[in-house]
């Protein structure tokens, strides 16, 4: 069955990136010259997704505006003869069909996904977190859709995480079943390194079936007053087999300041001019420090 819809939660507070994210959503931070969210929507579209269900909240309207048709801007660019820029701007508003759903109160990732229930309906769907970027030859979510096609069961994207960072992730307890594919036996949210069942941390990419909604509706609020997606997946794993897929690509948590800076450098050095200029600037700055 073709997966047509992707839920992209962008409603979180973004406390790790304050004060930058106070008035500007972190999902709108630029990576070289494009906002984070555009890379993510482009990844989904490149995987054949037709409809984006954006879970937004107060103060995040810039995200939907970015994908909207802007008559005034297009008119100005056209009158000034800036055809290259006009094409770029037009392309953004034609990327995909967009549905915006408000998560009145950002009560966690599980709650954000649950907000997409009616828009998703009774079909499997992808989830891409709005602050998690993956640079890969084959779009990350496309890799996962391929695994879903074979297994016809929920797939959680994971990557290997160093021991000193594992306490920041949801971690899967697994048994390998094929190259990069694992059966999930259990999931633990942010374990200590001693308690972590593996070194495979959950990243912001999922392919889910609508049964996740029934589970999320019954997940209680955790200690911090949130409904966690990992908790929902744990419940789902008791109802049906679910799998982890170790993604191929470079993954960046852009909701973290170091991850954000690394991601910018990763994309900047793909441009030969910026690569050379950055090398010089780097030497200059380090030489002076």
**108/183 with CB nearer ligand UTP:** 108
Q: What is the DSSP string of 16-50?
A: GGTTTTTTS-GGG-EETTEEHHHHHHHHHHHTT--
Binding to ligand UTP by residue 15, rule CB under 6 A? yes
**183/255 with CB nearer ligand UTP:** 255
Give the count of residues interacting with ligand UTP (CB under 6 A). Answer: 22
- What's phi and psi for 82, nearest 5 deg? -85, 70
Nearest residue to ligand UTP, scored by beta-carbon proximity = 12
Write out the binding residues for ligand UTP, residues 127-186 only, by CB under 6 A: 129-131
**77/263 with CB nearer ligand UTP:** 263
Cβ 170 to ligand UTP, closest distance in Å?
10
Per-residue binding string, ligand UTP, 181-220, x by CB under 6 A, is: ----------------------------------------
Q: In terms of DSSP bridges, do strands 97-102 and 51-56 run parallel, antiparallel, or are they unpaired?
A: parallel
CB atoms within 10 A of CB 12: 23
Residue 128 and residue 205 in contact, taking contact as beta carbons nearer than 8 Å: yes
**108/154 with CB nearer ligand UTP:** 108
266: tokens are 């990763």
Rounded distance between C-alpha atoms, residue 188 and residue 176, angstroms: 18
Binding to ligand UTP by residue 103, rule CB under 6 A? yes
Binding to ligand UTP by residue 259, rule CB under 6 A? no
Cβ 162 to ligand UTP, closest distance in Å?
19
Binding to ligand UTP by residue 14, rule CB under 6 A? yes
**41/151 with CB nearer ligand UTP:** 41
Residue 182 and residue 174 in contact, taking contact as beta carbons nearer than 8 Å: yes
**Which range binds ligand UTP by CB under 6 A, 10-18, 118-126, 156-164, 184-192?**
10-18
Per-residue binding string, ligand UTP, 25-64, x by CB under 6 A, is: --x---------------------------x---------
**17/234 with CB nearer ligand UTP:** 17
Burial zone of 150 (CB within 10 Å; 0-12 exposed, 13-18 middle, 19+ buried): exposed
Write out the binding residues for ligand UTP, residues 108-127 only, by CB under 6 A: 108-109, 111-112
Expressed in angstroms, the distance from the first to the final Cα of the chain is 56
Q: In terms of DSSP bridges, do strands 250-253 and 132-135 run parallel, antiparallel, or are they unpaired?
A: antiparallel
Residue 253 and residue 132 in contact, taking contact as beta carbons nearer than 8 Å: yes
Helices 257-268, 272-288: axis angle to 10 degrees equals 130
**Which range binds ligand UTP by CB under 6 A, 41-49, 107-115, 146-154, 244-252?**
107-115
Cβ 86 to ligand UTP, closest distance in Å?
30
Cβ 115 to ligand UTP, closest distance in Å?
8
Rg for the chain (alpha carbons), in Å? 20
Kind and range of the H or E run holding 51: strand 51-56
Binding footprint of ligand UTP on the chain (CB under 6 A): 9-17, 27, 55, 103, 106-109, 111-112, 129-131, 255
């Amino acid at each position: 069955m073709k997966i047509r819809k992707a839920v992209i939660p962008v409603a979180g507070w973004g406390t790790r990136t304050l004060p930058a994210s106070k008035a500007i959503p972190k999902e709108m931070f630029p990576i070289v010259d494009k906002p984070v969210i555009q890379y993510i929507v482009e990844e989904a579209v490149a995987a054949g997704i037709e409809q984006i269900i954006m879970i937004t909240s107060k103060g995040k309207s810039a995200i939907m505006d970015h994908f909207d048709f802007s008559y005034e801007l297009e008119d100005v660019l056209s009158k000034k003869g800036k055809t290259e820029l006009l094409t770029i701007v037009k392309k953004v508003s034609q990327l995909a069909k967009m549905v915006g759903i408000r998560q009145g109160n950002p009560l966690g990732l599980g709650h954000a996904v649950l907000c997409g229930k009616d828009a998703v309906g009774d079909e499997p769907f992808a989830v891409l977190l709005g602050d998690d970027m993956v640079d890969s030859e084959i779009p990350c979510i496309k890799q996962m859709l391929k695994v879903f096609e074979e297994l016809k069961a929920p797939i959680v994207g994971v990557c290997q995480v160093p021991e000193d960072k594992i306490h920041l992730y949801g971690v899967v307890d697994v048994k390998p079943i094929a190259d990069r594919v694992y059966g999930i036996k259990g999931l633990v949210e942010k374990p200590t390194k001693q308690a972590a069942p593996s070194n495979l941390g959950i990243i912001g990419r999922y392919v889910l079936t609508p049964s996740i909604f029934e589970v999320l509706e019954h997940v209680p609020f955790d200690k911090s007053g949130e409904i966690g997606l990992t908790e929902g997946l744990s419940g789902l794993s008791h109802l049906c087999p679910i799998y982890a897929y170790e993604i191929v690509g470079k993954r960046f948590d852009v909701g973290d300041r170091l991850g954000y800076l690394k991601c910018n450098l990763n994309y900047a050095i793909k441009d030969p001019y910026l690569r050379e200029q950055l090398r010089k600037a780097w030497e200059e700055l380090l030489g002076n420090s």
